[in-house]
Amino acid sequence: MKKLGLVILALVLLCGLAFALSARKGRRHPAAQDETAFKQESSTAFISIEEQVEPEAFDPGNAEALLTFEEMDFGGYTWIVLAKHEGKALITTKDVVVNRRQYNWEYGLISWEKCTLRETLNGFFYNSFSSEDRSRIVQTSLTNGGDANTSDNIFLLSVEEAIKYFGENDRRIAHDNENKVNWWLRSPGGDRYKAAYVRGDGRVDTDGVLANQNSNMAVRPSLWLNLSDAILTETVTTEASATTTKMAIEYKTMQFGGYDWLVLDEQDGKALLITKDIIGQRPFNTERNKKTFWSSCTLRTYLNGEFYDSFSEADRNRIAITKLLDEWDEAKIFLLSIQEVVKYFGDSGDFKAGIRKGYDYWLESYVQEVNGELIYDQYNDNRLTAYNEEKSEWLLRTQNDRYHAAIVNRQGAIDVKGISAWGYCGVRPALWLTL
């Protein structure tokens, strides 16, 4: 009997050990204490084709990381090239395209395959590109940290890819209006309710945060692009221009709905218009000391409600719905962003280079400053406008933080930090009009 008891005990112990090993094998990659282990595991390709993935999906194979990043413009964004393979390039946006965005809208068990962010990137964001640009985006098969493989046009990097292609922490740092931000990865986090991310200082956090969290969590899309017509340049640091020569731009003007408008752009039978002068003064959001977003601010409500309704039915039918990708919003009437002001009123290169100025009262002039907040350049006069025949500042939809809104000041300089969101300022509506 004693021997039989020992045999039974041994069998129980062996079964327990086998179960533990099986459970451990099925777990996700544990949170790493350092990046060495991931670098060792990243010697093979992280994107591969499995039998269940669509056969036309691209397999990058053993794409090598680039030692020196290249930059390129594509679809209205600046991208950095992380790798090249078979005439294609893996690119990710130089900085985030939208901040404070959930990986998944609802709390619960989640995976990259099922999350709402994947749906948005491959739906709303992908469709925002022109048909020509979309034809160059390569559908790519992805492995997702033990979850189901997917085939995507636009995606987030995985933990392994973020480490393989960026290398050092500093190279992973991304910004939103000059602020360092966290950005999502598609890899699962420490449990089924979380997703991994890159911290503001560039470190990869494999434990992650809750997938429905949006506080200071940003989105940095990636994709594989056919390089047939791409123009690549090595990353360079630009210096401030010494010239102060004013650069005037001539704009077409037109009347519509009782207002005078400047025509900023024309494409596909539509024109981008902005009122020549300010139509009135309003706050970005009426509630004081409260975080706000363009998509929910009271000024957007006014522009797309009372102001839009003031047009005749025939005029309203000509106003197109516009996708505002920086806020992932759709609106008929909107404010310009900083990027759009730079694009349409004159680009000195200062915005992209991070050159900011401040007023030096001793020198009585605007000079470059480390903590400067103004884009003050040769295009100031193009940005000037008036309210009741006097020069006036006007609001932009870009926010440096959720308590302020950027503006163009009375000198025509772009004030990146801006004013309190509840402060009154000039309103200059913009819209796309069917011609």
In tens, the pLDDT along 332-345 reads: 999 999 989 999 99
Confidence of residue 324 (pLDDT cuts 50, 70, 90): confident
Lowest mean pLDDT segment, chosen from 82-86, 217-221, 259-263, 268-272: 82-86
Domain ranges of the chain: 29-234, 252-434
Distance, CA of 307 to chain centre: 29
Secondary structure (DSSP) of 127-194: HTS-HHHHTTEEPEEEEETTEEEEEESSBPPPHHHHHHHH-SHHHH-EEETTEEEEEEEEEE-SSTTE
Confidence of residue 352 (pLDDT cuts 50, 70, 90): confident
pLDDT at 37: 34
Predicted confidence (pLDDT) at residue 101 exceeds the cutoff of 70:
yes
Q: 321, 304 in Cβ contact below 8 A?
A: no
Give the whole-angstrom CA distance, residue 320 versus residue 332: 6
Give the whole-angstrom CA distance, residue 166 versus residue 168: 6
Instruction: Provide the whole-model pTM.
Output: 0.59
Kindly report, residue by residue over 362-401, the tens digit of the pLDDT. Answer: 556 666 765 678 898 899 999 999 999 899 999 999 987 8
